[in-house]
Structures are given as structure tokens and as C-alpha cells.
Amino acid sequence: MKTQEILRAAKSLREKYAVTDGESFRLKNCNPNETDGLPGIRKIDSKELLDDGVRMMADLQDMLYAQDHWSILLIFQAMDAAGKDGIIKHVMSGVNPQGCEVHSFKSPSTEELDHDYMWRSMRRLPARGMIGIFNRSYYEEVLVVRVHPEILQSQKIPAELIGKNIFEKRQADIRQMEAFMSRNGTVVRKFFLHVSKEEQKKRFLERIDTPEKNWKFSPTDVKERQHWDQYMEAYESMIQTTSSTQAPWHIIPADNKWYTRVVVSGIIIDTLASLNLHYPQVDEKRKAQLQEVRATLMAEK
């Protein structure tokens, strides 16, 4: 596919799935099984598009790294088995490992619990020129902790600060913090991989029935599934309150893995392409210097 065609496709996918103002957002209007964001693209045609997309992402990342001004923070949130790991593997497949970092956030450690909940994420933010990928993130603080508020007790927060609206306040703080990041050159893009409850069941059964996939399955995943509706409410509230122009959520249909990849790759390409990236410009003084060095090298015996 030609560069211009890929860029056009990427832009239309971003426009279709981005939420920049969450006020009227409803999860029930989003179909996890949808695959029709790009007219004419079906599973069999997606390979070529994905390969071209990976190459384009690699070129853009090279300039991002050389320019050393912007940083990109990609956040992935989802229910278990929605495909976070697979999509991260795909996104990483073409980029220079030197310019990219992945961090996975699990239940906090004792050291982490001795700090506010943002601390561990702040230490992992991407440096300028880098792409940082968060596999889960500080958003767990308004998801798993909201569904299981007893977790708050382990966080060592002064009791008088745990009020009724603690999760709304957290969402407001996160919104502010992301505004701060974007005002300072970190481009924040957030992805909710939206898998259906039926598809999750299918994937769990596959993990149980396929020996090579057994390691991916944890019985606690099924326990969390029992709280499905509460999770969906928490996700909806999170998307409503923390979507913004600078740090949009993208609701990615995740029942078909090939489509999830096409959409996420498109959105990342569109994001990078919108930054007007270029290699550092060489001024006249430096050009003259390079010529001098060249002459010295050529004169070597």
C-alpha cells in the first residue's frame, strides 16, 4: 500500500475510535465484534496492510528518536484475554528496541504501597524520543480498586482521606496529570481493548484446552469475570471522565485479533504522523565542520 493510502486509513481509524470528550460516551454503543472500519479490508488483506504499517511505524520512530523532543506514552487497559500482550508484541515487532520500553503493572509491591499510587508510573514515563508502553497502568486504581474497594485498605492512605468520592477524585487527578504531561511534550494515547464476555469465555477455554497456552491461564481470571458488569461500569466511568483531546481513549473492538491490530497500528501511525517529525536539521556551521572531517578522512594515508 502507498504511504498516502496508509496515512488516510490510519486517520479514519483514529477518527472512528477516538473519544476526546467522554461526557455522552456509552459502552453499550460500542460493538466488540465489529470489523468494518476500513471499507474493503478483510482478514485476508490485513497482513499486507499490517506489514506496511509496521515499516512505517519504524521510520517514524527513527525520526522521533533522532529529534529527541516528544515522548509517546501508549496505555493499554483491558479485561483478561482481550489481547494486550499480542498487540504489544505486534507494535514492538518493527521498532528499534532502543527507542521503546514496555512496563507491566501488577499488584503493587510493599515498596510501591509506601508511596502514592502514581509514584511507580511516574518513574516509568518515557524519556524524550522514546515510546513507552504501559501494559495496565495507574488506571487500575479506578478499575480493579473500584470493583474491589477493600484494596484501598492496603494502600496505607490516611483514613480521613478515603471519602465516598475517592474514585471520582482519582479520575479528576489523572485527567490533570495527563494534561500536565501533554503540555510538556508527552503524547498520551490510551487503548481500551473491548472484548465481549462470550469471546473471553472462548479464549479461556482455549487456554485450558491447549497445553502450550496453559501458562497463560490463571483461575483468578475467572473470579474477576464474575464481576464483569461492575468492571464495565468502572470502564465506562473512566472513559467518560478521563477522555480529552490531548489524552483520548480509543475503544478498540477486540473480538477479532487481526482487526484489533489493524486499528491500534493505525492509531499509533496517525499519532506519530501528526507530530511533524523530522531529522534534526544541520546548520551551515555544522555542514562545514562535516566537510572538514571528511577531508581529513580522505587525506588519511
For residue 146, the minimal CB distance to ligand ATP (Å) is 10
Give the C-alpha separation, 29 to 16, whole Å: 13
144 binds, among Mg ion, ligand ATP, none (CB under 5 to 8 A by kind): ligand ATP
Establish if 107 lies at the interface with ligand ATP (CB under 6 A): yes
CB under 8 Å to 187, separation ≥6 — which residues?
70, 71, 72, 73, 271, 275
Cα(26)–Cα(19) distance, rounded to whole angstroms? 11
151 contacts which partner out of ligand ATP, Mg ion, none, CB within 5 to 8 A by kind? ligand ATP
Between CA 270 and CA 191 the distance in angstroms is 14
Task: Identify whether the C-beta of residue 189 lies closer than 8 Å to the C-beta of residue 247.
Answer: yes
Q: Which does 178 bind (CB under 5 to 8 A by kind): Mg ion, ligand ATP, none?
A: none
Shortest separation between residue 221's beta carbon and Mg ion, angstroms: 5
Residue 8 or 103 with smaller CB distance to Mg ion = 103
Among the residue ranges 9-17, 101-109, 170-178, 201-209, the one whose residues contact ligand ATP (CB under 6 A): 101-109
**Residue 81: CB minimum distance to ligand ATP, A:** 7
Is-contact 57 104, C-beta < 8 A?
no
Q: Which is nearer to ligand ATP, 59 or 112 (CB)?
A: 112
State the residues that interact with Mg ion by CB under 5 A.
80
CB of 102 to ligand ATP, least distance (A): 12
Helix (H) or strand (E) holding 167: helix 166-183
Nearer to Mg ion by C-beta: 163 or 219? 219
C-alpha cell read off for 158? 490516611
Residues 44-83 as x/- pattern, contact with ligand ATP by CB under 6 A? ------------------------------------x---
Rounded least distance, CB 65 to ligand ATP, Å: 27
Q: To the nearest whole angstrom, how small is the minimum distance from the Cβ of residue 130 to ligand ATP?
A: 22
Closest contact distance (angstroms) between CB of 250 and ligand ATP is 19
Residue nearest to ligand ATP (CB): 140
Q: What angle do CA 247, 250, 252 make, to 5 degrees?
A: 160
Is there a contact between 196 and 256 (Cβ–Cβ < 8 Å)? no
* Residue, CB closest to Mg ion: 80
Please choose, out of 99-107, 124-132, 231-239, 257-265, the segment that lies near ligand ATP by the rule CB under 6 A.
99-107
Residue 268 backbone zone (phi > 0: left; psi -120 to 50: alpha; other: beta): alpha
Is residue 108 within 8 Å of 140, Cβ to Cβ?
Answer: no
| Residue numbers 201-220 binding ligand ATP by CB under 6 A | 218
Burial class (CB in 10 A: 0-12, 13-18, 19+), 163: exposed
Q: Are 61 and 272 in contact (CB under 8 A)?
A: yes
Residues 119-158 that bind ligand ATP (CB under 6 A): 135-136, 140-141, 144-145, 151
Q: Look at residue 154 and give the partner it binds from ligand ATP, Mg ion, none, a contact being a CB closer than 5 to 8 Å depending on partner kind.
A: none
Question: Which CA distances in Å does 233 have to 76, 112, 186?
Answer: 18, 27, 29
Q: Which residues bind ligand ATP (CB under 6 A)?
A: 80, 85, 105-108, 135-136, 140-141, 144-145, 151, 218
